[in-house]
Amino acid sequence: MTTRRDEAEARMRALHAAGALAASYPELAGLLTALDEAPPAAQPADDACDWAGRVLARLDPGEVLAAHPGTPVVRVAVTGRATAAGIVAPLTAQLARHGMLMIPYSGGHGGYVQELADPASGLYAHRPELTVCLLDPLTVWDRLPAPWQPYDVALEAERQRLLLAELAAAHRAHAPEGAVLVLNTVPLLRRFTHQLVSLDQRAELGAVWREFTADLLRMADPAAGVAVVDAEPLTASGIRADDPRLGVYADAPCTARLLAALARETAHLARARRGAAKKCLVLDLDGTLWDGVLAEDGPERVRAARSLRSGAFAAFRRIAEQLAAQGVLLAVCSKNDPEPVARALAAHPDWPLNADDFVSVVADWGPKADGIQKIAAELGISPSSVVFADDSVFEREAVRAAVPGAAVVPLDAEPALHGERLLADGWFDTPTLTREDRARADRYRQRERRERQRTRAADYAAFLRGLRIEASAAPAADGDTARIAQLTLRTNRFNLTGVRLTAAQVARRADDPAALVLAVRAADRFGDDGVVGAVLVHRDADGLHLENYVMSCRVLGRGIEDAVLAGLLRAARRDGLPAVHARWRPTAANEKLRGFLTGHGFTAVPDDDDDGGAIRCRHDLLHLPPAPDHIRLAFQWHSHLDRTGPPAHGRGSRSGGPADGRGSEGAGRQGSSRTESGGTRRSRGTRERA
Amino acid sequence: MQSVVDLIQLANRRLGTELTAHDAERELAEVPCWDSVHLLRLVGLLEAELGRPVPVAEVLEARTLDEIWTAVSGAVSDTALSGAVPA
């Protein structure tokens, strides 16, 4: 029987033979995904992917970019204590599987200390966005003279940790802004533990090592540009960590499978960093969420715990529930009649996951691709932000063909493996979780109530007025940076320039006296939406430059995006600025914003730079666009520091400022009116510049 | 696997190299499509293909594909080698 995987391998080999891999690069993501699917038990898991990685690692990235200039590029540097070059090929394949093109740099043999410490090293000359510092299983042990005691291991491990902390600081200083250093924990080998013959000392060594592991994991800090991949879940899944022969003869201790597993996790990290995290999990019902067929067995029977398998489905539902608690939107797409589905999903104390947990349920007999499009439209997200899990090959293939970009999770007849399959690709991984994430499902439900209200209101303007929207834009507080970074990452449709920032970059901008980061908040009578948008600006002698403007798709269409821009222009005029400069830069999803700036009185200006088809615009502040009258906007860009006087240091409204939360909305409005009446004329930017 | 030609085919199929029979005697350092990283992987591939361990140090010291084949095929009768490390 020819499988999807065999077909993909044959196709990929044909492309390779024809020298057409670069020309067909966009097709490779799908082929690699198929190659990556669980192979027949007889075949070693990573063979086809390993081959693909080696072939792709030899492609000239320039050739790929010449054929497909829009391919997202990741500049990666690889270094390590021992030979680390082995991770280049699997990482190339894993990044290609997620549609990215790796531009690699592989350092000299084992020179990670020099490469990371020296600002003039080849590693930094590569300007990496991602630096993989591979810590192999001989890390620490290579520096221990025999005989050793657990205490000696603890000392050497601590030295290693301090060294890594220094190197991480150096990386932060010398790598491009926003770059991430990826470390990994070090698997503890039995041939070390069992060199201690007394059981109590052996246990102590185990404890010492776990402390080292814990210390390494605590170095993970997205804001500081450090990520740590935990190797233990990988080795626990059955991946052998080292080959002693290659370790001693070639100084390449890691097995190919460990390198492949680390590469997989690193690619997920790269994807999360690019803001490509998926937003919604669309689940099938029969054979996915429960045992049996609803249309045949009826709601009571599919819900009854009548077999061993019921426990496996319950465990899978709990995983979905766990994801939902962290902001993953859950939806159902099932070929069934709606009424029995509603009965089967009705709340029940013993049943994890019920109707309340799903933000959308599509139960009909149409194609599932249509169902997914409908769910995405309802939620205001792109269909490519969807992960679809189904146990039917037919449904999966149909969705793959009709919903490009959506992730499709292959479940099968074994429900006990559903969970692993769903989590295999870390589709929902994100650098940090914010308050907004946890409340996301509630906010979508508010949105649904709003939509219902809208369809009842005959007149859209009357509906908007009835919402009693209150919005504010104010300098971002410390607690907002993670959320704002996330907005720049996750927001695709209303993202004016596609400039994406890490939390560290947002914090740096907030600290920069010539720059300003405004957090946009919104609330209406259905609920508080929290931070829904961000405005990034900087000032110079020409006036104000709008670097990016993002707004969550959750609130689009309510006029908040218009109100905030109008507020910004008004404030710029009141501060006596000569003009506001902005640009729209096309991305895969922001075509609808092409006319946004000109629609608000900006005029396009000729542009010599070829910036990917960007349109540069200027607003002379003579005629300001009207502000939507159904929104009460508190616009404030002067931080409290302007009022209190000490030199601007640290971020704007650290505490008690109008940006701190809903409770101070009123203060924000007053702040705004005071500003607008001319009480404070200088922004942080101008004062620092003056 | 019967000869160095089979070894070359294995490398081409699994490592994506474009070796020909003429490369068997060439110094690996002079073979354009060859990379030292390939050699590390070849150890595991050979062991999977042959179903037995290969003498890793000798394979790593080999300067040509012929020498690799000699090291690998010479080990057939060598029962002293212990089990391979699973890839």
CATH 3.40.50.1000 domain residues, chain A: 280-423
At A323 the pLDDT is 95
Phi, psi angle pair for A225, to nearest 5°: 75, 35
Place of tokens 């997989």: A264
pLDDT at res. A347: 66
pLDDT digits 0-9 by tens, A447-478? 777 777 776 666 777 778 888 899 999 999 88
CATH number of residue B42's parent domain: 1.10.1200.10
Burial class (CB in 10 A: 0-12, 13-18, 19+), A42: exposed
Radius of gyration, CA atoms only, chain B: 12
Q: Is residue B68 part of a domain?
A: yes
Q: Domain spanning A72-273 has what CATH number? A: 3.40.50.1110
Q: Considering chain A, what is the average pLDDT of its residues?
A: 86
CA atoms within 13 A on the CB side of A366: 11
ipTM of the complex: 0.85
Mean pLDDT on A3-32: 93
Rounded to the nearest 10 degrees, what angle do helices B4-15 and B65-74 cross at? Answer: 110
pLDDT above 70 for A31: yes
DSSP for A35-61, please give it. Answer: HHSPPPTTS-TTHHHHHHHHHHHTS-H
- Residue B81 domain flag: no
Tell me, what's the pLDDT at A458? 63
CB A451 within 8 A of CB A467: no
Identity of the residue in A51, A55, A240 whose CB atom sits nearest the CB atom of B86: A240
Whether A645 has a pLDDT exceeding 50, the answer reads no
Instruction: List C-alpha distances in Å: A454 to A382, A440, A447, A560, A561.
Output: 22, 21, 10, 17, 19
Comparing A45-54, A113-122, A385-394, which segment has the lowest mean pLDDT?
Answer: A45-54
Nearest neighbour of A47 by CB, restricted to B14, B40, B43: B14
Q: What is the DSSP letter of A424?
A: T
> Which of 40-69 (B) contact A at CB < 8 A?
40-41, 43-44, 48, 56-57, 60
Quick one: pLDDT at residue A39? 61
User: Which residue reads 């095929």 in tokens?
Assistant: B73
Judged by a CB distance cut-off of 8 A, whether residue A92 touches chain B is: no
Residues of B in contact with A256 (CB under 8 A): 40-41, 44, 87
Say what the pLDDT of residue A354 is. Answer: 80
Which pair of tokens denotes residue A580? 């506001």
Please state, in angstroms and rounded to a whole number, the distance separating the CA atoms of residues A498 and A505: 15
Count Cβ–Cβ pairs < 8 Å, chain A vs chain B: 54
Banded pLDDT at A305 (limits 50, 70, 90): low
Q: Which CATH topology does A280-423 take?
A: Rossmann fold (3.40.50)
User: Which CATH number does A447-689 carry?
Assistant: 3.40.630.30
Per the structure, the count of domains in chain B is 1
pLDDT tens across A73-101, in order? 999 999 998 888 899 999 999 999 999 99
Nearest CA in chain B to A251: B40
Interface subset of A 40-59, CB within 8 angstroms of B: 44, 47, 50-51, 54-55, 58
Integer Cα distance of A222 and A551 in angstroms: 22
CA separation for the pair A590, A592 (Å, rounded) = 5
Residue A55 has pLDDT above 70, yes or no: yes
A120: exposed, middle or buried (Cβ count in 10 Å: 0-12, 13-18, 19+)? exposed
pLDDT digits (tens, 9 = 90+) for A422-443: 999 999 998 888 888 888 878 8
Q: How many degrees, rounded to 5, is the angle at CA B42 between CA B38 and CA B45?
A: 140
**pLDDT tens figures, A143-163:** 999 899 999 999 999 999 999
- pLDDT for A666 equals 35
Helices within A387-439 (DSSP H only): 393-402, 418-423, 435-438
Domain membership flag for residue B85: no
Is residue B87 assigned to a domain? no
Q: What is the DSSP string of B13-56?
A: HHH-----GGGGGS-GGG-TT--HHHHHHHHHHHHHHHTS---H
Q: Are A368 and A332 in contact (CB under 8 A)?
A: no
Q: What is the pLDDT of residue A668?
A: 35
In this structure, what token pair is assigned to residue A451? Answer: 């939509």
User: What separation in angstroms does the CA of A529 have from each of A378, A440, A495, A684?
Assistant: 17, 9, 18, 28
Residue B36: inside a domain, yes or no?
Answer: yes
The four Cα atoms A420, A421, A422, A428 give a dihedral, to 10 degrees, of 90
Tell me, what amino acid is at A419?
A: G
Is residue B32 situated within a structural domain?
Answer: yes
Within chain A, all domains assigned CATH 3.40.630.30 are found at 447-689
Residue-by-residue DSSP string for A221-273: BGGGTEEEE-SHHHHHTT---B-HHHHHHHS--B-HHHHHHHHHHHHHHHHHH
For CA atoms A674, A679, A685, A688, give the dihedral sign. Answer: negative
- Per residue, the 3-state secondary structure of A483-511, as one string, reads HHHHHHHHCCCCECCCCCCCHHHHHHHHH
pLDDT confidence tier of residue A408, bands split at 50, 70 and 90: very high
The predicted pLDDT at position A502 comes to 86
- A118, two tokens: 């020296």
Q: Write out chain B residues lying below 8 Å of A92, CB-based.
A: none
Looking at residues A559-577, what average pLDDT do you find?
92
* Contact status, residue A439 vs residue A530, Cβ threshold 8 Å: yes
Domain that holds residue B63: 4-76
Residue type at A27? Answer: E
The 10s digit of each residue's pLDDT in A222-277 is 889 999 999 999 999 999 999 999 999 988 999 999 999 999 999 999 999 888 89
Residue A329 to residue A376: CA distance in whole angstroms:
11
